[in-house]
Amino acid sequence: MTDLADSPAVRRLADWDHGRLEGLADEYDTPLYVMDLDRVKENYTRFAAAFPDAEVMYAAKAHTGKAVLEAVLEAGADIECAAWGELQRSIDAGADPNTLQYTAVNPPDHDLDYAADLAEEAPGLTITIGATDTLDRLAERGYDGRIAIRINPGIGTGHHEKVATGADAKFGIPYERVPEVADRVREEFELVGLHAHAGSGVLTEGLEEHCRAIERVGEMARRVGDDELEFVDVGGGYGVPYREDEEPLDLERTAEMVREAAGELEATLKLEPGRYVVADAGLILSEVNTIKEAPDATVVGVDASLATLIRPAMFGSYHPMLNVSAPDRDSHPVTVGGPVCTSADVFAHDRPVARPERGDILAIGNAGSYGYELASQFHSQPRPAEVALENGQSRVVRRRESLEDVTRVEQ
């Protein structure tokens, strides 16, 4: 078990060893993803300790790298997967397929084929459905095993409208239809749980709305008979502070509010943190290559781009930034952008950063969740390497792609 005595609730960029980060950039080149696996284990252990009577899974979609999956398994987590590839990668990392939970969202035929075949060998696999069509398609494949019903609670929460899944018709069975769907599942399959996920990036000030969704899940569980369910899964969505002036999630208060919102349950409460476990365990190192004085801004060009980290372009997300080469220089407001030919390829506008010079290394923080997962090869840019830190050592866990990797699938 990870010792939490010296593990702060959030790791800021200032807490990293800047000299070591410069050394990693020099040794492994840039742009470079860095993942601290010790921090991953600390974060999972801290979260699980706040919910001692619950089952805490890891939501794989936040970061499916093998080293990260191995780390959360070592910390004692089971894994929740949103696609067949995540199921396979979890198994490759050492997960028992009988412990996996597959949350199917409009699953392609290949995904359902894979899940149904896997369940023949691993009957403990749980498939979470969000549409009755999925039940029909599973029945066509001869599946009659473990099913959880995903509820649409009608309440969405989180840092951006694109992640407020709890109010999006794409996700889950409409609330009032859940009892009839539960009756059908009991007749044709094995109903083991209810599931909901309200949104993502929830901090303490957003907990009340988040818990309103959890209240509805608890109410529905009692309505359909929670004494006949194994679990009630209230999903993840628990956030970390991206901005320097934001406070970390108050886990003690969070646990108290979640338990109160769920109410009395015979079934086991289940949670699925993803971002909370990996976000502040990862960062990107990028080298400054251009300094341009424009009429309205000082533009700093770096070798990372929206192909490396798309969250600022996709969600308008704020990521902290630090000049690890010279953190003590006077700060200067700069616009930091990459080499992709679009105005969306900007990490920060007028951001105070210790005055960058060509050749400096900038660190972009909180890149451990939905960072490498959303990386692309836009502009024929090979994806970066990823280095893991663990027990004082560093190692490459994902090599840097070459142009041959980019073009390998072409015919």
Segment 21-53, tens digit of pLDDT: 999 999 999 999 999 999 999 999 999 999 999
Give me the residue label for tokens 């109160």. Answer: 260
The answer on 288 and 266 residing in a single domain is no
Confidence category of residue 160, pLDDT binned at 50, 70, 90: very low
8 is in an annotated binding site: no
Q: For residue 154, what are the domain limits?
A: 96-273
The answer on 385 and 310 residing in a single domain is yes
Told to judge if 211 belongs to the known catalytic residues of this protein, a careful annotator would answer no
Of the candidate ranges 127-141, 158-172, 326-340, the one whose mean pLDDT is the lowest: 158-172
The answer on 303 and 231 residing in a single domain is no
Confidence category of residue 203, pLDDT binned at 50, 70, 90: confident
Gap between the Cα atoms of 163 and 316, Å rounded: 13
Give me the residue label for tokens 């090979």. Answer: 382
370 is in an annotated binding site: yes
Q: In the numeric block, which tokens belong to residue 333? A: 């407001």
The answer on 400 and 309 residing in a single domain is yes
238 is in an annotated binding site: no
The catalytic position among 1, 294, 341, 409 is 341
pTM: 0.94
Gap between the Cα atoms of 359 and 289, Å rounded: 6
275 is in an annotated binding site: yes
Confidence category of residue 155, pLDDT binned at 50, 70, 90: low
Tell me the pLDDT tens digit for each residue of 218-246.
999 999 999 999 999 999 989 999 999 99
337 is in an annotated binding site: no
The answer on 314 and 210 residing in a single domain is no
Q: In the numeric block, which tokens belong to residue 288? A: 């400054």
Give the pLDDT score at 2.
55
Q: Show the beta-strand stretches assigned E in 275-319.
A: 282-294, 297-302
User: Is residue 195 situated within a structural domain?
Assistant: yes
Asked if 254 contacts 207 with a C-beta cutoff of 8 angstroms, the reply is: yes
Domain end point (choices 235, 257, 273)? 273
Query: What total number of domains does the chain contain?
Result: 2
Q: Show the beta-strand stretches assigned E in 155-248.
A: 157-158, 173-174, 190-195, 199-200, 231-233
Asked if 28 contacts 246 with a C-beta cutoff of 8 angstroms, the reply is: no
Give the pLDDT score at 166.
41
Domain end point (choices 273, 294, 313)? 273
